[in-house]
Structure 1
Amino acid sequence: MGCDRNCGLITGAVIGAVLAVFGGILMPVGDMLIQKTIKKEVVLEEGTIAFKNWVKTGTEIYRQFWIFDVQNPQEVMMNSSNIQVKQRGPYTYRVRFLAKENITQDPKDNTVSFLQPNGAIFEPSLSVGTEADNFTVLNLAVAAASHIYPNPFVQVVLNSLINKSKSSMFQVRTLRELLWGYTDPFLSLVPYPVSTRVGMFYPYNNTADGVYKVFNGKDSISKVAIIDTYKGKRSIYAVFESDVNLKGIPVYRFVLPSKAFASPVQNPDNHCFCTEKIISKNCTSYGVLDISKCKEGKPVYISLPHFLYASPDVSETIDGLNPNEEEHRTYLDIEPITGFTLQFAKRLQVNLLVKPSNKIQVLKRLKRNYIVPILWLNETGTIGDEKAKLFRSQVTGKINLLGLIEMILLSVGVVMFVAFMISYCACRSKTIK
């Protein structure tokens, strides 16, 4: 009888130990199997689920625009006053709905290159007005001409054409014209071949953005679809901020750090963005990046909306700005197991530099340089409810279930082993007595 009882206790302890060991083994083995299964489907190569959804995204992506409407154009031109702006928006377009093109795999560095065809569809229900709404904004052609052609004699000629076309430092344009292009009256008078179409995003439709080069995830799924280079240059980066719950899915939030727009003195990686030392005070100003080299010499600067994170001198000539970190920063929410970006908000502001010019009448009274905000945009995309539900059931749900099974087996096994061993020892003690 005692033997049967002791044998039963030992058997129970052994079963407990086996369960605990099995639970312990299942953790690394299960995780390895999950990683193997996920890696098979999330890498960007022909035949995977990820590739199919990546080539032509099923998530609706919107680009919202807020335009800076200038309230005091005459005061600025006559007295070199601060520019008073009032933002108006959002005006919303659906973008990135076309399939990627020229997709090329590079097995040497596990990347894939592609072009993203451009297209924009106006969404009236998500906008405060129509594409026919008017705005008082900087005259893009006049501001750029004095910067591109610094020669005094050339500027005298340009001045006569500006006056003849009745152009000024500011102009009134519709939303459609400002974004997608219009025929400029001043440029139409230029006697040598020059593009007469001007617009913040002209040309756009029927063009392609890129070349993008992103990681395909074959060497590490944590790098899936992360941009390696854009047009062969260095890309802006993001840093981890916090854990976020997105529709029941745990994700990591990455944000664009203030250092990305730091001065070259603070961040040497930004040395190529400082070409106007007069404007940027020997490259000590921060918060804006000079991208004129990418825009055929046009004095274009990018920043975060409302000059968020910028040094005070950058916005000292502009009134009406209210930088807000929650509304104006850029972030990405990435699911850590698959590396998929499930939500993002890309926010950028486009600005133009205007400098005084003794030879151009409409700029003659200016006594200082202005970095003039034209508009800021918010490009957003979020995983839909149905896809989030599918993701939870196919990925996070199975992983959580496996983790629960592992913990139950380990916990039950340890409890059984300890309980049966204690009982066995107690019984042995009584038998000896």
Structure 2
Amino acid sequence: MQPKKIRWRVTLLPAIGALLAAAGAVLAICFDDIFQAILAQQLKLSPSSKSFPIWKAPTIPIFFDIYFFNWTNPINITDKNVKPHFVEMGPYRFRETKEKVNVTWNNENSTVSYRQMRKWYFDEEGSKGTLDDNITTLNAIAASAVYTSRYWNYIRQKGLSMGLTIFNQEISVTKTARELLFDGYDDPLLDLAKSLPQKETNAPPVDKFGWFYKRNGSTENDGYFNMATGYGNIKSFGVLKNWNNNTRTPFFSGSCAKVEGSAGEFYPPKLSKTQKISMFSADLCRTITFDYDEVVTVQGIPAYKYSGGSSILDNGTIHPENKCFCAGECQPSGTLNVSTCRYGSPAFISFPHFYLADPYYLDAIEGLSPDEDKHKFYIALEPTSGIPVDVAARFQLNFLVSPSNYVTLYNDVPHIFLPVLWFEQHVTVNAEIADGVKSLLKVPMMGNAVGLGLFALGIIIILWSPVRVNVKACRRLNRRKKDNPVPKIELEKSKPILNNMRAPKQHVNVLPSVEDQDEDEKDEEVAVVEPLNSVNNDLKKE
């Protein structure tokens, strides 16, 4: 019998199935890498990238809450039997906006340089109190002057003592919230400082004093940043390369002076639970590091929460590598000396209400009560993209007061850290951005599902073609057996008679020959029908 021509679909369909199965397997296995490559291209910062407008002028609401510590008994500061008592006031809420200005792209090293302009708008509805509230607090100007004079000779210190007396300076001042924050207030000591060489006084070049005086709308206070754009190495995306044109700060020594970590807006993608994250804080003039805490859900987005632990504000007591943060004078763990970063003022940073600090600080005062939920500093990042989805930056400003032998105002004061204020900068992604992030996270799942679906479809097509042929052939065979049954031949029991019997001359055609089938049936049943035709031929010979 001549070989039969196999129909085109008998070979084409399995080939198509094999291609689909191979493509599906590759897609399912490699889609995560493909997605990461696409994501990296989208995240890289450039004037035309999707991340640029979010970075340059974020539209996410940023709330800046300030809490003052109202000092209720400053008159008793020299009484060793009475602890300073404080009452928290606030929050005084401000809506904060940020904008990058003076942006310069450095393509030769894949970085961008810029300054930052921040503005604050008072939110009366979100505040508990008004900017006209009177607050009694430490006289920071006098405290800074006394702290700066601690290494002066006797004559200069006595001169300062006389000046404080002449200008009626006291250990505390009572001012309105607006004066203490952005408006500032006049003080004759500032006028005196301006008349002296700045190198000697180390006083800031201002005509008024306020904690945020002249910072609203300024582009100078935060400094000059240089950040990696992610081109060439996506792992460097958002990492600060230098600050004020330096890779080290002049305010600390050793490893503590390094400028490193995120600039604050972006973090490298594909985070793990075992790694730490770090960011540079211009307010603290240093890099701070966060440890992985837990998985949280923010607006339906799974995120890794990184929290600030005791290591951030330790000065070597617990973590020896942090001793270089002492800035010359080591204190019990829990406060960071930022005096060199703040014009020589005795400023020390802690977590609010001395959270995680040595009990030494709380034992010396009254009115503060640390609470982890209210006072922990944390950052929640979506691990795939590294996008911050919830941030609560919380720090407290404290002033060190120490006795002075030659400055009368400070003769009998204790060595004590007095809380001044604490602030919380809270940012949470809004619903619009959350929906975009959730859609982004669905892409890998969808890609894997498509890959598995193609693989399954390819296998089905590969198996379907021969199965279909055999099933159809068996059905036709059964149908023809029914239409043309093989006649039964009754055999006699006697063996001689059986031996004398001749084969019938007329042959019963059990099955029609292959030639009688239509062309479609020939090709699909060739493998099944040919053995059956052999049976017919044997019967003919008999």
Instruction: Please give the TM-score of this superposition, normalised by the length of structure 1.
Output: 0.84
Q: Check 1:243–1:216 CA distance in 2 against 1; reply closer, same or farther (3 A cut).
A: farther
Take 1:413 and 1:255, find their aligned partners in 2: how far apart are those partners?
48
Tell me, yes or no, if the aligned pair for 1:79 and 1:365 is still in contact at 8 Å: no
Query: Is 1:403 aligned to residue 414 of structure 2?
Result: no
**Aligned AA for 1:400?**
M
Q: Check 1:76–1:350 CA distance in 2 against 1; reply closer, same or farther (3 A cut).
A: same
Name the structure 1 match of 2:358. 311
The gaps in structure 1 that reach 5 residues or longer are 1-7
Counterparts of 1:14-413 in structure 2 under 5 Å? Answer: 21-79=22-80, 81-97=82-98, 99-107=99-107, 110-150=110-150, 151=152, 152-180=154-182, 181-188=184-191, 192-193=195-196, 195-208=206-219, 209-221=222-234, 223-231=236-244, 232=246, 233=249, 234=259, 235-277=287-329, 280=331, 285-366=332-413, 368-393=414-439, 395-409=440-454
Q: Check 1:141–1:401 CA distance in 2 against 1; reply closer, same or farther (3 A cut).
A: same
- By how many angstroms is 1:72 displaced? 1.5
- By how many angstroms is 1:269 displaced? 4.3
SS in 2 for 1:210: coil
SS in 2 for 1:147: helix
Tell me, yes or no, if the aligned pair for 1:80 and 1:365 is still in contact at 8 Å: no
Tell me, yes or no, if the aligned pair for 1:94 and 1:120 is still in contact at 8 Å: yes
Tell me, yes or no, if the aligned pair for 2:90 and 2:128 is still in contact at 8 Å: yes
- By how many angstroms is 1:23 displaced? 3.0
Take 2:118 and 2:435, find their aligned partners in 1: how far apart are those partners?
30
- By how many angstroms is 1:95 displaced? 1.8
- By how many angstroms is 1:196 displaced? 4.4
**Aligned AA for 1:37?**
I
Tell me, yes or no, if the aligned pair for 2:13 and 2:462 is still in contact at 8 Å: no
**Aligned AA for 2:58?**
T
Name the structure 2 match of 1:3. none
SS in 2 for 1:390: helix
Take 1:204 and 1:331, find their aligned partners in 2: how far apart are those partners?
25
**Aligned AA for 1:213?**
N
Tell me, yes or no, if the aligned pair for 1:179 and 1:201 is still in contact at 8 Å: yes
SS in 1 for 2:75: helix
- By how many angstroms is 1:29 displaced? 3.8
Tell me, yes or no, if the aligned pair for 1:221 and 1:338 is still in contact at 8 Å: no
Deviation digits for residues 259-315 of structure 1 (CA, Å, limit 9, x no counterpart): 1222225434433321353x62xxxx2111111111121111111111222122233
123-132 vs 9-18, greater mean Cα deviation: 9-18
Take 1:110 and 1:269, find their aligned partners in 2: how far apart are those partners?
32
Instruction: Please give the TM-score of this superposition, normalised by the length of structure 2.
Output: 0.68
Higher relative CO (CA 8 A, sep ≥ 6), structure 1 or 2?
Answer: 1
Take 1:109 and 1:309, find their aligned partners in 2: how far apart are those partners?
40
Take 2:317 and 2:15, find their aligned partners in 1: how far apart are those partners?
66
Take 2:320 and 2:107, find their aligned partners in 1: how far apart are those partners?
32
Take 1:248 and 1:162, find their aligned partners in 2: how far apart are those partners?
58
194-203 vs 135-144, greater mean Cα deviation: 194-203
Tell me, yes or no, if the aligned pair for 2:161 and 2:407 is still in contact at 8 Å: yes
RMSD (CA atoms): 3.4
Larger radius of gyration: 2
- By how many angstroms is 1:373 displaced? 1.3
Q: Check 1:226–1:315 CA distance in 2 against 1; reply closer, same or farther (3 A cut).
A: farther
Q: Check 1:127–1:361 CA distance in 2 against 1; reply closer, same or farther (3 A cut).
A: same
Instruction: Provide the aligned length of Structure 1 versus Structure 2.
Output: 415
**Identity %, equivalent residues:** 27
SS in 1 for 2:437: helix
- By how many angstroms is 1:340 displaced? 2.0
Take 1:182 and 1:41, find their aligned partners in 2: how far apart are those partners?
48
**Aligned AA for 1:118?**
R
Deviation digits for residues 47-98 of structure 1 (CA, Å, limit 9, x no counterpart): 101012211111121111111111211112344732211211111112233x
**Aligned AA for 1:272?**
C
The gaps in structure 2 that reach 5 residues or longer are 1-8, 197-202, 250-258, 260-286, 472-527, 529-542
